[in-house]
Amino acid sequence: MSQVSNLKSQIKFLDLGLIDYKECWDLQERIFNETVSDKLALRDGLSQKIPEHHLIFCEHPHVITLGKSGKMENLVANNEMLKQKGVSFYKINRGGDITYHGPGQIIGYPILDLDQFFTDIHKFMRFLEETMIRMLAEYGIEAGRIKGATGVWLDPENPFKARKICAFGIRCSRWVTMHGWALNVNSDLDFFELIVPCGISDKKVTSMQKELGRKLDMEEVKGKLKKHFAELFEAELVQSEKKELLERIV
């Protein structure tokens, strides 16, 4: 991929708004598969098309997802409880344990060909975390990391007060990524009582709304996230449209 290494990357940005989890997962898979196919065709000299990058923002109706390394016992609620609260459940192909998605979160799904950035999955994860940390600092929220516990935390040095504000879980194959983060902005934190979040029983979750005592403007937060993401990855975010994407990806 040396022929593109010196170019500033363009990342196609798409905000899907509120979208069913399975519908968005299927869309991610289609983009992911196209990216991998383009990489292989370029490698084998069958095409000159350079794989594209995408960043999807969305919110999901109430849903709980269990990653590849997750344990079912971390799902506290039974099927009847989930049905009563209108919560869907999926076992999925990302890393990590169990988490909740719902309205008031900003979900981010970066589908990037890391061969065009850096082939270091740990650096990729740190960049995602750093995007959150820098954005939160703009609101006066000091956040950081806990060694051995992926995510962005408040009071990370205090085991009795540490609380997670952003969870991460990704998949990476052939250096192409999918899945991503769930940032609690105006989230209803009561839904986290249905699970042991990320399989960590001795720490709480929080949201920007809870920490600041006021509801946040979601579009404003998204704008700050996009700015820091683009800066860290030294990329330009280019607006994309869902219709255009669906017509192109089969």
- SS3 for 17? strand
Determine how β-strand 53-59 pairs with β-strand 9-18: parallel
Q: Which residues pair with 237 in a beta bridge?
A: 11
The catalytically annotated residue of 24, 58, 166, 198 is 198
- Report d(CA 199, CA 74) in Å as an integer: 6
Position of tokens 């700050």?
224
- Report d(CA 107, CA 103) in Å as an integer: 10
Residue type at position 242: K
Radius of gyration of the chain (CA): 18
- Report d(CA 54, CA 78) in Å as an integer: 36
Would residue 198 show up in a list of annotated catalytic residues for this protein? yes
Give me the active site residues, please.
Answer: 198
